[in-house]
Amino acid sequence: MSEKTETEPKGCWFLVGDTCPEDIHTREDMTDDDRAMTDTVVSFFENEVVPKMDEIDAQNFDVTVGLLKQAGELGVFMADVPEQYGGLGLSMKNSAGLGEASGMVGAFGVACGAHLGIGMYPIMLFGPDEMKEKYVPKLATAEMIAAFCLTEPGCGCDALSAKSKAVLTEDGQSYIINGTKQFITNGGFADCYTIFAQVNGKLTAFLVTPDMAGFARGPEEHKLGIKGSSTTQIIMTDLKVPASNMIGEIGEGGKIALGILNIGRTKLGLGLVGGSKYAMQVAVKYGLERVQFGQQIIKFPLIKEMLGEISARIYAGESSTWRTAGFIGYIMHGIHSGEMEPGKGLAELAVEAALEKVAQSEHNDYIVDACLQIMGGYGYTSEYPMERAYRDARISRIYEGTNEVCRLVGGGMPFRAAAKGEIPLMEVMERARFRIQTANMDFGCMCGPLGDVEEQLAKMKTIYGYCAGLVFRKYAGAFDKMMEGEEYLGNLHNLAMEIYLTESALLRTKKIMAKNGENEILAALLRIYANYAAGVCSKSLWEVVRAAMTPSQIATVREGLNAVCPFAVVNLLELRRKVADAVIAREGVWPIW
């Protein structure tokens, strides 16, 4: 893996090449403006939204919509919008902090995300100019609220097989749409819906508004969590929509839907990291006040152990989501300047978006669970905010593509990229096979202060290459057959995900240390995460090896398999305590170093 990356980011590149620390975007790269904007939005959420969380969760939609409008006037949704449409012309690089902030406010954040991340983007990126001019400025200020309607009662994961139909009228001026959309966030109050329907069997996107005859909303769903978000059916009965309301071309619905979901997944990832940070702050505050056996509970070593793990996952999550935000910023720049076709640009993100979505939702799940545990019996009561955060977290593994669907994307798409010649995966697979066969784990000089993690990452990439090769050969390179080997793809996804998070945390740590000097808290955060990632990778390696190889085949490469298992030798107890002490000193407020 000695090739050097070009400076511009490239989808899946992290699997086949190395990246320089200075080439990734990190939270530390925020400009003064980015920080001022994020601070403003955080204090708006803290002072205006958090106190109203009970009203919001009681589905008092007047409160929710009122706050959405207030947020809109403040400019919360303007950052990513080009200036010509009333936005600030920034990119996700600059607005990543805003994305994180939305994770503090549970169901309200979901409403914001549905409006911005998936509601507004289809029109903004794929709509005709007149549509953009008419709607985007109003969406940017939340004068109008948007929703995205892909799922149907019978088509969830298999979303592109939507049954809704759109038929052109005889005069050619309109389409008549019939069908029902399911689980539509903001469904109860949005003013502007992107819906997907089949035109002669080709999935196509349309902009639909509630004033159109034949438009109806179903009742609110009763949900486990994110209770304050509106979730309804949208029922279209002979709904007549002008032909000019088509978003993109006939048959481009799939490309639009999947592209927009890539944005939604990364924005969701940012929100989840923000939510995790906020949860830790709440739990630490409680743990500082709660005294048992004459000691603040936050200072007990088994609580510190949790703080160490929570912090490491936040650190790696933050490192990877901001890196991906930088990547999206680069792609958006290309799209807005006309250099990149939107569908192609967004498709470039597919693997990273899927990894982010799975990683951050699963880490957030672990983190709210641990935070609730720190708060004990009180955490379990609805008097305290963690009970809500715990319930709210569960949806993240389901919506925006279930984690199972995302795992097929993250595990399978690199083969497709390789087949198109976009990444040199075949070479990587061959090199990994050679390394395992010869048990050669010499990766060249990795002698810096973080050399142990660098070496471990190189081993993790070797495991990925080796496992990808086993799967590829098992199915003789037939992509459709490989997609049936879902458990293999799940393992490949897990490997890719841990590589991406560990590498992002490593590169960020190097970038910060190059500027500010060595920092033992950062190094500890990185090593705790790398240790966790090593466990995942070893498990996946052995699962794939034992399923794809015979015992005698395994015997011939056992030495290599043992050598590649990437356990770094660290004193986890000490590292976690060190990190926890830093968390306690800052009273749970991130960053802790």
Partner 1 sequence: MADLKILVLVKQTFTTEARIQLDAQGKIVDKGIKYVISPYDEYAVEKAIQMQEAGGGIVRILTVGSDKTLETMRIALAMGAAEAVRVWDPCLETADSQITAQVIAAAMKKVPFDLVLAGKAAVDDQSYEVPARVAGLLGLPLVNAITSLSVSGTTAKVERETDAGKETIEVPLPAVLTAEKGLAEPRYPTLPNIMKAKKKPVQVYGLGDIGLSAAALKPAVQVLGLSTPAPRKGAAIIGGSPQEAVKELVRRLKEEAKVL
- The residues annotated as belonging to the active site are 400
Alpha carbons 216 and 381: distance in angstroms, whole number:
37
Residue 143 binds to partner 1 (criterion: CB under 8 A): no
Q: Is residue 18 helix, strand or coil?
A: strand
CA 295, CA 444: separation in Å to the nearest integer?
49
Burial class (CB in 10 A: 0-12, 13-18, 19+), 518: exposed
Structure tokens that stand for 165 in this block: 């139909």
Strand partners, 296: 291
Residue 586 touching partner 1 (CB under 8 A): yes
By the rule CB under 8 A, 50 interacts with partner 1 = no
- Residues 350, 258: contact at Cβ < 8 Å? yes
How far apart are CB 98 and partner 1 at their closest, in Å?
A: 8
Residue 359 as a binder of partner 1 (CB under 8 A): the answer is no
Smallest distance from partner 1 to CB 291, Å = 8
How many angstroms separate the CA atoms of 137 and 462, rounded?
48
Assess 572 for contact with partner 1 (CB under 8 A).
no
Contact predicate 151/181, CB 8 Å: yes
Contact residue for partner 1 among 11, 17, 75, 264 (CB under 8 A): 75
Q: Is 88 in the site for partner 1 (CB under 8 A)?
A: yes
Q: How far is the CB of 44 from partner 1 (least distance, A)?
A: 5
Binding mask 254-293 for partner 1 (x = CB under 8 A): -------------------------------------x--
Q: Hey, what are 339's tokens? A: 């250099």
8 near partner 1 (CB under 8 A)? no
**Nearer CB in complex with partner 1: 332/497:** 332
Given 73, 158, 484, 559, the residue binding partner 1 (CB under 8 A): 73
User: Which residue of 13, 14, 44, 415 would you call a contact of partner 1, by CB under 8 A?
Assistant: 44
Q: What b/e string do you get for 242-268 counting C-beta neighbours within 10 Å, with b at 16 or more?
A: eeebbbbeeebbbbbbbbbbbbbbbbb
To partner 1, the closest distance from the beta carbon of 40 in angstroms equals 5
Task: Please identify which residue in 49, 78, 408, 534 interacts with partner 1, judged by CB under 8 A.
Answer: 78
Under the binding rule (CB under 8 A), the answer on residue 587 touching partner 1 is: yes
Closer CB to partner 1, residue 525 or residue 545?
525
> Contacts with partner 1: how many residues (CB under 8 A)?
22
Say whether residue 513 binds partner 1 (CB under 8 A).
no
Question: Would you say 46 or 422 has its CB closer to partner 1?
Answer: 46
Site string for partner 1, 205-244 (x = CB under 8 A): ----------------------------------------
Q: How far is CA 90 from CA 94, 270, 330, 356, 391, in A?
A: 6, 17, 11, 22, 33
Distance CA 63, CA 70 (A): 10
Q: Does 415 bind partner 1 (CB under 8 A)?
A: no
Closest to partner 1 by CB, 35 or 481: 35
Least Å distance between CB 591 and partner 1? 7
Can you tell me which of 20, 36, 216, 419 binds partner 1, judged by CB under 8 A? 36
Q: State the minimum distance, in angstroms, from the CB of residue 325 to partner 1.
A: 17
Part in contact with partner 1 (CB under 8 A); list of ranges 19-27, 28-36, 265-273, 518-526: 28-36
Tell me the C-alpha distance between 314 and 274, whole Å.
9
Q: Out of 216, 478, 514, 589, which residue is the one contacting partner 1 (CB under 8 A)?
A: 589
Preceding amide of 591 cis, omega within 30: yes
Q: Which CB, 95 or 321, lies closer to partner 1? A: 95
Check if the beta carbon of residue 130 is closer than 8 Å to that of residue 120.
no
Amino acid letter, residue 73: E
Cα–Cα distance for residue pair 190/123, rounded to 1 Å: 15
Backbone angles phi and psi of 239, in degrees to 5: -70, 125
Among 3, 6, 39, 430, contact with partner 1 (rule: CB under 8 A): 39
Question: Can you tell me which of 3, 22, 43, 242 binds partner 1, judged by CB under 8 A?
Answer: 43
CB of 593 to partner 1, least distance (A): 9
Which one, of 522, 517, 523, lies nearest residue 451 by Cα? 523
Strand 246-247 with 146-149, pairing: unpaired
User: Given the complex with partner 1, which of 223 and 285 has the nearer CB atom?
Assistant: 285
Interacting span for partner 1 (CB under 8 A) from 11-19, 68-76, 390-398, 438-446? 68-76
Binding piece for partner 1, criterion CB under 8 A, among 37-45, 204-212, 397-405, 545-553? 37-45
Kindly state the smallest distance separating residue 196's Cβ from partner 1, in Å.
31
> Which stretch, 18-26, 41-49, 465-473, 516-524, contacts partner 1 (CB under 8 A)?
41-49
Q: Does 35 bind partner 1 (CB under 8 A)?
A: yes
329 binds partner 1 (CB under 8 A): no
Contacts 24+ apart (CB under 8 A), 346-350: 346/125, 346/258, 346/259, 346/260, 346/262, 346/263, 347/11, 347/255, 347/258, 347/259, 347/262, 348/10, 348/11, 349/11, 349/262, 349/263, 349/266, 349/324, 350/11, 350/258, 350/262, 350/409, 350/413
Q: What is the 3 state secondary structure string of 205-262?
A: EEEECCCCCCEEECCCCCCCCCCCCCEEEEEEEEEEEEHHHEECCCCCHHHHHHHHHH
Q: Which residues contact 141 (CB under 8 A, 6 or more apart)?
A: 72, 73, 75, 77, 78, 86
Burial of 1 per CB tally in 10 Å (0-12, 13-18, 19+): middle
Give the binding range for partner 1 (CB under 8 A) out of 10-18, 31-39, 513-521, 527-535: 31-39
Q: Does 69 bind partner 1 (CB under 8 A)?
A: no
Q: Which residues of 178-191 are buried (b: 16+ CB within 10 A; e: fewer)?
A: bbbbbbbbbbbbbb
Residue 32, interface with partner 1 (CB under 8 A)?
yes
Least separation, in Å, of the C-beta of 126 and partner 1?
25
In the numeric block, which tokens belong to residue 577?
């305590």
Are 69 and 189 contacting, i.e. CB atoms less than 8 angstroms apart?
A: no
16, 30, 41, 501: which one binds partner 1 (CB under 8 A): 41
Stretch that binds partner 1, among 34-42, 220-228, 357-365, 484-492 (CB under 8 A): 34-42
Residue 76 sits in the site that holds partner 1 (CB under 8 A): yes
Asked if 168 is part of the footprint of partner 1 (rule: CB under 8 A), the reply reads: no
- Asked if 194 contacts 206 with a C-beta cutoff of 8 angstroms, the reply is yes
Binding site for partner 1 (CB under 8 A): 32-33, 35-37, 39-41, 43-44, 73-76, 78-79, 88, 291, 586-587, 589, 591
